[in-house]
C-alpha cells in the first residue's frame, strides 16, 4: 500500500515542469502585490468609514446618558447625585495600618 502511494507521488513529480512552477510563483506574486496596491488605495476610505461609524455609535451612547439629565435641571441649578461615603474608624480597636514590615 505504501509502495503504491510513494510511486504515485514520484510519478506526479515527474510531470512538474519549471514553467509550471514559475507560473504559480508569478501568479502568487501578482496577487500579493495587487492586494498590497489596492489596500494602499482603499485603506484611507475604509479608515474614514470605520471612524465615522465608531463616532456615531459613541455619540448615540453618550446622548442616551446625557439627554435626560439636561431636561430635568435648569441652568445654574446644582444637584448632587450621591453623597460621598465617610470613613469612620473605631477608636477602641487602634490605629489603622496600611502595610506590614517583613524582616
Quote the pLDDT of residue 44.
93
Q: What are the pLDDT tens digits along the chain (103 aa)?
A: 555 665 666 555 556 678 888 999 999 999 999 999 999 999 999 999 999 999 988 887 776 665 454 556 677 787 777 776 776 655 666 666 677 777 6
Cβ atoms of residues 29 and 35 within 8 Å: no
The b/e string for 15-48 (b: 16+ C-beta within 10 A; e otherwise) is: eeeeeeeeeeeeeeeeeeeeeeeeeeeeeeeeee
Q: How many residues belong to the chain?
A: 103
Cell 461615603 sits at which residue?
A: 85
Given this model, what pLDDT does residue 19 score?
86
Amino acid at each position: 500500500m505504501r509502495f503504491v502511494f510513494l510511486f504515485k507521488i514520484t510519478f506526479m513529480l515527474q510531470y512538474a515542469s519549471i514553467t509550471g512552477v514559475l507560473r504559480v510563483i508569478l501568479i502568487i506574486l501578482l496577487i500579493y502585490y495587487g492586494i498590497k496596491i489596492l489596500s494602499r488605495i482603499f485603506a484611507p476610505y475604509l479608515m474614514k468609514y470605520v471612524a465615522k461609524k465608531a463616532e456615531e455609535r459613541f455619540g448615540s451612547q453618550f446622548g442616551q446618558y446625557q439627554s435626560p439629565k439636561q431636561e430635568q435641571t435648569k441652568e445654574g441649578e446644582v444637584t448632587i447625585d450621591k453623597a460621598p461615603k465617610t470613613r469612620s474608624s473605631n477608636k477602641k480597636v487602634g490605629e489603622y495600618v496600611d502595610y506590614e514590615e517583613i524582616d
